[in-house]
Amino acid sequence: MLRTALTLVGAVLFVMGLFFTLQGAGVIMWPADSFMLADRAWVSKGLMIALAGAAVILIGRRAGSKA
């Protein structure tokens, strides 16, 4: 249960981070009224969120396994 929850939360964080990064880079220009569009600050923030999501996924995959 913990493994699944951590993996799901990590995947959501990872996808959100990539979305924010692409919005900040001006690749995704949706939604039109978003304050993140073509704002370079969101490239680094999005990458940090995506990396945090990847870390949570790795922690989730190791949760419950015997070392």
67: pLDDT strictly greater than 70:
no
pLDDT band at 66 (very low <50, low <70, confident <90, very high): low
Residues whose CB falls within 8 Å of the CB of residue 46, separated by 6 or more in sequence, listed in order: 16, 17, 18, 19, 20, 21, 22, 23, 24
pLDDT in tens, 10-34: 999 999 999 999 999 999 999 999 9
Count the helix, strand and coil residues of the chain and give each as a percent rounded to the nearest 5: 65, 0, 35
| Res 1: pLDDT | 87
pTM for this entry? 0.88
5: pLDDT strictly greater than 90:
yes
pLDDT in tens, 39-59: 999 999 999 999 999 999 999
> By CB neighbour count within 10 A (0-12 exposed, 13-18 middle, 19+ buried), where does 66 fall?
exposed
